[in-house]
Amino acid sequence: SAVISQKPSRDICQRGTSLTIQCQVDSQVTMMFWYRQQPGQSLTLIATANQGSEATYESGFVIDKFPISRPNLTFSTLTVSNMSPEDSSIYLCSVQGQGNGYTFGSGTRLTVV
Amino acid sequence: QQQVKQSPQSLIVQKGGISIINCAYENTAFDYFPWYQQFPGKGPALLIAIRPDVSEKKEGRFTISFNKSAKQFSLHIMDSQPGDSATYFCAAGQTGANNLFFGTGTRLTVIP
């Protein structure tokens, strides 16, 4: 299965600022996925990032708040913009493997103060 | 709306015991049901998965039981070990769709 490197692993940010999270995969993949894992809640899909096209956002998530880049088949970034304490979560990058199985990065633990 | 409901929220089991985590879903279009294991500071890792054409799948000490008519599935961990202490997530998805719907997670603690 693919190996995913995600950074930063954690950060503490001031409200109103933005943080860009990077995701690097060791193999070329068509789609990359960004999830949010809020404390005590489910993992929720934010968006699907295809190389060469605009990301597809799930209901409740908008591009202005979570802009995504996908410059090539092994790399993607997610930016959390104009952060508020409600954005404090773990953000996870993921790729799809064989069948429907997903491989996840180690996540970025974001705390907004 | 929670697509997949998971229980219990937390579970404490003695070493050597059986850990059982349950999940229920509503969407009959789901045809893929994985379980993920997550250790602190790590991303979720695929543990075992089942499709609705079988009622049970076993891999080592981990077994998924699937009840299509009840729209329920469960994870059984036999001979639970302290190293199994982690958070477990069930999920459900549909072939051809990108989104997996996750349960809220179960924090398992296996005490020696």
Mean pLDDT across A8-23: 97
B93: contact with A, CB 8 A cutoff: yes
For residue A1, is pLDDT > 90?
Answer: no
Interface test with B, best of A4, A42, A48, A50 (most B CBs within 10 A): A42
Q: Which residues of A touch B45 (CB under 8 A)?
A: 104
Counting as low any pLDDT under 70, the low residues of chain B are: 1
Mean predicted lDDT score pLDDT of chain A: 93
C-alpha span between B59 and B57 (Å, rounded): 7
B90: contact with A, CB 8 A cutoff: no
pLDDT at position A56:
94
Pick from B3, B8, B9: nearest CA to B93: B3
Where would I find the beta strands (DSSP E) of B31-71? Answer: 33-38, 45-50, 56-59, 62-67
Q: Name the residue range of residue B89's domain.
A: 4-111
Query: Over the stretch A16-66, which tens digit does the pLDDT of each residue have?
Result: 999 999 999 999 998 999 999 988 778 999 999 988 888 999 999 999 999
pLDDT at position B102:
93
Contact (CB<8Å) A9/B2: no
Percent pLDDT > 70 in chain A is 97
pLDDT at position B1:
66
pLDDT at position A100:
62
Angle at B12 between CA B108 and CA A39, to 5 degrees: 40
From A6, A40, A101, residue closest to B46, measured CB to CB: A101
- Chain position carrying tokens 């997530």: B89
pLDDT at position A17:
98
CATH of A30-102, one of 3.30.2130.10, 2.60.40.10, 3.50.30.50, 3.40.50.2300: 2.60.40.10
Contact (CB<8Å) B49/A99: yes
Give A106 to chain B, closest Cα distance, Å. Answer: 4
Domain boundaries, chain A: 30-102
pLDDT at position A81:
98
Q: Which of residues 6-65 of A touch B (CB under 8 A)?
A: 6, 9, 31, 33, 40-45, 48, 58
C-alpha span between B99 and A33 (Å, rounded): 9
pLDDT at position A98:
67
Query: In total, how many domains does chain B have?
Result: 1
For residue A77, is pLDDT > 90?
Answer: yes
Q: DSSP letters of A17-83?
A: --EEEEEEESS--SEEEEEEE-TTS-EEEEEEEETTSPPEEPTT--TTTS-EEEEETTEEEEEE-S-
The CATH number of the domain holding residue B51 is: 2.60.40.10
Query: Exposed, middle or buried: residue B53 (CB in 10 Å: 0-12, 13-18, 19+)?
Result: exposed
